[in-house]
Amino acid sequence: MPPFRTLGAAATLVLGLGGSAAAQTLVISNWDGYMAPDAVATFTAQTGIPAELVLHATNEEIMGKLIASGGRGYDVVFVSSPFAEILNTLGLAEPLDHAKIPNLANLYPEARALEHDPGNVFSVPYAWGTTGLCYRADLVPEAPDSWADLLSPDEALRGRTTMLATDRWLLAAGLLARGWSVNETDPDKLAQVRDDLIAAKRTLLAYDDTTFYAKLVSGEAALVQAWDGWCNYAIAESDAVRYVIPKEGSDLWVDTMVILKQSANKEAAHAFVNWMLDADNHRWAAENILYKVPNAPAMAALDAELIEAFPNMGITPAELLSYEQLRDVGEAQRAYSRTVTEIMAAQ
Amino acid sequence: MRDRGSAFLMAPALAWLAGLMVVPCALVLALAFFRRGLYGGIDWTFTLENLALVFDPLYGGILLNSARIAGLVALIAAVAGYAAAFAIVSRPRHWQPVLLFLAVLPFWSNYLIRTYAWIVLLNREGLIVQAARWLGRDGALPQMLYTEGAVIAGLVYAYLPFVILACYAPLSRLPRDLAEASRDLGGSGFTTFRRITLPLTLPGLAVGAVFVFVLSVGNFVTPALLGGGQFQMVGTLVYAQFLTAGDWPFGAALAMVLMAVMMLLLVAQTWVAERGTGGRRDA
């Protein structure tokens, strides 16, 4: 932004402080780069509602802020579905007024019946997808099709695989491999998975949540656990990269938009959620960050070539719904944290 | 009068430390005595569970392992840094500032960038592997990046200048005639070093080594980047409690124990320093 416009914005803010205008500035928190860079400005231009974007790096970061402030200071937050559930459990999420979000009609029927929030009572899905195996077809002895291919890799792949370090997804790989629920809380089963994952750790190159696709492109890694959307970044740079959902299945991850109960701008917050669900606005995420969005007209408008280039963009809502969603596990989250620490501390 | 003047001069620094360091630290550490709320908040019931949990074999083991790694880093940095400081002091006077400047030059760049440089150096297709290939070494080199060795190397590199600076000052102030006197009395080079130079400069070395240990034991960036997230150190663990596990009270308890260990070390180092200056007075 040129300096004079920043000055102008600051002046507007200062002048508005005395009146009610400042209170009407919508505060949205999202991950960096998860929506169009000009999304907020366009929203303001089209609706006249002043809005401000703040960034969070992780779900836990924004949750920490929301819990500490009792849900004050933000109007709309983007969080993954288990965290949306927690916001609802804690009474921090505003029940959605569907009359103010007519664009909900754009969502696939499947996206309106998600396990964590059937009927979109407190959350609206923004993006969804799977977690599977992303690999270099030219570097693996044979194409992987099972979580076992990652957990006990072929001799040639020892030291050339990575796994996600985020607790829920790391454990999901072990749970799915044994055919268990990704929300399993039985201590014996968690102990079993811990041992499996400690054995797998000895074959890993690294744990990596953020640069695994770069390791794949450089050839440092040959097979990595990855979210489908992130695998697309590797596919974009290398013809040899493929994505596969292991035969034992995947989790279904869903990132959502939630309006806070403490919001002083609920009208505007609903208007923003509605604006985001507009087919053209929502399509941006699919086209630019290569994540599937649960918006039927937005997905229908995608270029066929895009889906050909990034086959996982074509996974159907019906197939997505065949996988289990990560759910809030309540008290068992402590056992999850401890299990992950045990894996990380093992040599 | 002079006391009042110096109190006045120290006031801004003390206020800064008290208001912006001691108070926030105390607030965070106080959390250690309360229960964790189910979803990451604080349940204001007094408990000692968090502190007890620090000594659970799992977390206690991580603490000991961090101490082992930080100890190795401090030892290597102490030997290498002392040697470097010794070498710098034995150069002509006008060269010394230049050499010191070169030693601290890496501090001018960002810590993350310096750590990433090691990734470029050590990875499977990195500079070291390529250089080895160019020199005619066939076959794969052992994995270097994402190992404990990489973490140690990265930490030594990052904190070595502290030791050099801490040792340079006492070494350069050491009167030359002491060594000459020792030699005149028949002491060999090694005896002179062992009985004169080293004891008189030990306080500096202790400052440097303790600094390196304290900075290494709580570091979480280097284990994450050069260890590939596979080496759990106490810094990483504290970071995880606050930023991912949402267990602030346990994170605070870990931090409290870590700080207690650091304080003890600083006290021990001060004691070594006192003894050192006492020795000089006797000499």
User: Among B246, B247, B219, which residue's Cα sits nearest to residue B233?
Assistant: B219
Which residues neighbour B169 within 8 Å (Cβ) at sequence distance 6 or greater? B204
Facing residue for B62 by CB, picked from A68, A204, A345? A345
The confidence score (pLDDT) of residue B276 equals 62
Query: Tell me: the pLDDT tens digits for B145-161?
Result: 999 999 999 999 999 99
Question: What pLDDT is stored for residue B196 in this prediction?
Answer: 87
pTM over 0.90: no
DSSP A68-96: HHTT-S-SEEEEEHHHHHHHHHTT-BPPP
**B146 vs chain A: nearest CA distance in angstroms?**
6
Measured in angstroms, the CA of A155 and the nearest CA of chain B are apart by 15
Q: What confidence tens digit (pLDDT) does each residue in A183-192 have?
A: 999 999 999 9
CATH number of A129-251+325-345: 3.40.190.10
Domain-wise residue ranges, chain B? 48-282
Q: Out of B58, B243, B246, whose CB is closest to A342?
A: B58
Residue A2's pLDDT is 35
Write the burial class of residue B101 (CB in 10 Å: 0-12 exposed, 13-18 middle, 19+ buried): exposed
ipTM of the complex: 0.82
Alpha-carbon gap: B230 to the closest alpha carbon of chain A (Å): 6
CATH fold of the domain at A3-128+253-313 = D-Maltodextrin-Binding Protein; domain 2 (3.40.190)
Whether the predicted pLDDT of A13 surpasses 70: no
What is the structure's pLDDT at B28?
Answer: 87
Q: Is B228 on the interface with A (CB under 8 A)?
A: yes
Closest Cβ–Cβ partner in B228, B230, B244 for A58: B244
Best B58, B232, B233, B242 member to test A by mutation, with max A CBs in 10 Å, is B232
- Residue-wise DSSP of A261-286: TT-S-HHHHHHHHHHHTSHHHHHHHH
Q: What residue segments make up the domains of chain A, in order of their start? A: 3-128+253-313, 129-251+325-345
Per-residue pLDDT for A270 more than 60?
A: yes
Low-confidence ranges of chain B (pLDDT < 70): 1-3, 276-283
- The per-residue pLDDT for range A313-329, each reduced to its tens digit, is 999 999 999 999 999 99
Is residue A18 very low, low, confident or very high in pLDDT (cuts 50, 70, 90)?
very low
State the Cα angle at B78 between B75 and B79, rounded to 5°: 90
Q: Which two tokens stand for residue A180?
A: 């268990």
Q: Band the pLDDT of A193: cuts 50, 70, 90.
A: very high
Q: Is B61 on the interface with A (CB under 8 A)?
A: yes
CA A293 → CA A42, A80, A131, A242, B229, distances in Å? 20, 14, 15, 21, 31
Class of residue B16 by CB neighbours under 10 A (exposed 0-12, middle 13-18, buried 19+): exposed
Nearest CA-CA distance, residue A59 and chain B, Å:
8
Q: Cβ–Cβ of A341/B237 closer than 8 Å? A: yes
Q: Which candidate from B39, B125, B228 shows the least CB-CB separation from A86?
A: B39
Q: What count of other Cβ atoms lies within 10 Å of the Cβ of residue B265?
A: 18
Q: Which of A90, A331, A337 sits opposite B245 (nearest CB)?
A: A337
Percentage of chain A beyond pLDDT 70 is 93
Q: Which residues of A touch B149 (CB under 8 A)?
A: none
Q: How many contacts (CB atoms, under 8 Å) link A and B?
A: 77
Residue among B125, B232, B247 minimizing CB distance to A345? B232
Band of residue A76 on the pLDDT scale cut at 50, 70, 90: very high
Mark yes or no for CB contact A208/B229 under 8 Å: yes
Closest chain A residue by Cα to residue B125: A220
CA distance A295 to chain B (A): 30
A79, A42, A76, A36: which is closest to A283 by C-alpha? A36
Average pLDDT over every residue of A9-32: 60
Residue among B38, B123, B247 with most chain A CBs within 10 A, to mutate: B38
Same fold, A3-128+253-313 and A129-251+325-345: yes
Asked if the Cβ–Cβ distance from A63 to B245 is below 8 Å, we say no
CB distance from B126 to chain A under 8 Å? no
Task: Output the CATH code of domain B48-282.
Answer: 1.10.3720.10
